[in-house]
A and B are shown apart, each in its own frame.
Chain A
């Protein structure tokens, strides 16, 4: 027999069985993981569609009585967008610069190891603690009012470590060859980082920032302590209580009437849609910037 001569054996039955069993386990695990995701999506869409109308998107809860139908989340949508925008404005530059320091300048020194350590610690900070910190520092100690900006600060504390970690990973993926090629052309280090390293990592960094945005857009606890509640539209993020979609859902879901419960579901649906929309925009930007597009 040729198998004997060459020493090449057919696949044994036990390996075939193991292969099948592990394959089945992997599929099963996947199915289990997807069940909650799909069921949440299904529930939110099914229950949220009832009130997903123009009034919901364009009206606040001002002068809507406890038993009244109608009302909407316009004030909360505005609040969430502003809070996430300001949180990103704070967290993305700081996070990105931190990542640049860690990858390009820190080179395993004592300072960079400490920064890495504290970024890890920050990743584990419960969201309510960041809210408490801003409450204690900004509102109580400095005497500033509850505001959307205070909420944005609390959210930025949560965003920062996510941005640092993802940007750091993306910067490390940039091949060293490119940095050397740039140095060899007589380009200073900082210009190399700005013009070669960051553009190369751009797509990945955008994805990381969007993940961070998605994470903080749904945070409720830090907002509870920093932006407070309101049923009215407050366009000014620097003064007075503002609403946010997670808070809105929390507030409406706690009310005893069916109309309020419906509004809570629709609020959740809106939040998911906003995050998806932001993701889509980010992907479009990344696609538009990628060299592959110009190549075709």
Chain B
């Protein structure tokens, strides 16, 4: 199920502005890869290029290659919709569909894409909610609106929604930044268990979080205001946090800047 992502020479633009430049990296299957770096360095932009969400913004475009196993995601005959079906995403702010119940939210990706029988849906909804560690809290109110849940529950609902379509990779854009520490812990536990089945990439501003949940860490930085963000280094998380190869990384993780 989990697959490897290979990125080579990737540039991303917003109109004429180059947001990230020359990124080359390999994201291993069944690991958690964390992206850290100061605000505006292009972590989120890079994350969004991995499932072609970047181009949803008007005027945004990408140069370079992203390969999932052997397939070029930016190939001329690749349907971005099916890329997003394969590579799921969880956003910074929990965004359950307000018009839908908890059940419908989890089933949304399946329902909006094809026909499933009621019993199939029931099974997938239950296993996704269990996978997102939310089943016990919501099993008695599946047809209540998803917006009635707490922030942390909503975020786990969004994770359940994302894994319900059985993606091969799960991208998370600062999934805990709007949550309290207890909900954050619940999500981090969840990430550790999801690692068995998925390739996970997480953007975070919280370095302890990166250290706690990730196997690999990539540090991004930008040379100055208006300059494109770059990948400074990427290595095992333990190495990055104890013995980074670059001075800038060390400065950042020890809190000397950023």
Q: Could you list which residues of chain A lie within 8 angstroms of chain B, going by C-beta atoms?
A: 107-108, 175, 177-188, 191-192, 195-196, 199-200, 202, 289, 291-292, 294-295
Contacts and interface: CB of A to CB of B under 8 A. Distances in A.
A23 B88 CA distance: 54
A195 B53 CA distance: 19
B112 A184 contact: no
Given A175-B95, A177-B91, A196-B97, A291 B147 contact: yes
Contacts of A202: 99
Interface in B123-163: 143-145, 147-148, 158, 161-162
A178 B56 CA distance: 13
Nearest to A198: B99
Nearest to A185: B109
Given A107-B58, A294-B144, A295-B145, A184 B89 contact: yes
Given A107-B58, A291-B145, A294-B143, A185 B161 contact: yes
Residue with the highest number of chain B CB atoms closer than 10 Å, among A183, A184, A195, A196: A184
B97 A181 contact: yes
Interface stretch (B78-86, B181-189, B221-229, B237-245): B78-86
Residue with the highest number of chain B CB atoms closer than 10 Å, among A195, A202, A289: A195
Contacts of B82: 186
A187 B112 contact: yes
Given A196-B97, A291-B98, A185 B84 contact: yes
A184 to B, nearest CB: 4
A275 to B, nearest CB: 28
A184 B162 CA distance: 8
Contacts of B56: 179-180, 183
Contacts of B113: 185-187
A291 to B, nearest CB: 4
**Interface residue SS majority, chain A:** helix
B108 interface: yes
A294 B145 contact: yes
Given A184-B84, A185-B112, A191-B112, A292 B97 contact: no
Interface of B: 51, 53, 56, 58, 81-86, 88-89, 91, 93, 95-101, 108-109, 112-113, 143-145, 147-148, 158, 161-162, 165
Given A178-B95, A200-B97, A200-B98, A186 B58 contact: no
Nearest to B101: A294
A186 B99 contact: no
A181 B91 contact: yes
Contacts of A188: 81
24 contacts: A108-B58, A178-B95, A180-B53, A180-B95, A181-B161, A184-B53, A184-B162, A185-B88, A185-B108, A185-B113, A186-B81, A186-B83, A186-B84, A186-B86, A187-B109, A187-B112, A191-B112, A195-B112, A291-B98, A291-B99, A291-B100, A291-B101, A291-B147, A292-B145
Contact of A295 (B91, B97, B144): B144
A104 to B, nearest CB: 11
A188 B112 CA distance: 9
A69 to B, nearest CB: 53
A199 B108 contact: no
Contacts of B144: 294-295
B47 to A, nearest CB: 11
Contacts of B91: 177, 180-181, 184
Contacts of A108: 58
Contacts of A195: 108, 112
A181 B100 CA distance: 13
A157 to B, nearest CB: 32
What 4 A-B pairs come out closest when comparing CB atoms?
A: A186-B85, A185-B109, A184-B89, A291-B145
A188 B100 CA distance: 18
Nearest to A290: B99
Given A186-B165, A294-B101, 20 more contacts: A177-B95, A178-B97, A180-B95, A181-B95, A181-B158, A182-B97, A183-B56, A184-B162, A185-B165, A186-B81, A186-B85, A187-B81, A192-B112, A196-B97, A196-B99, A199-B99, A200-B97, A291-B98, A291-B99, A291-B145
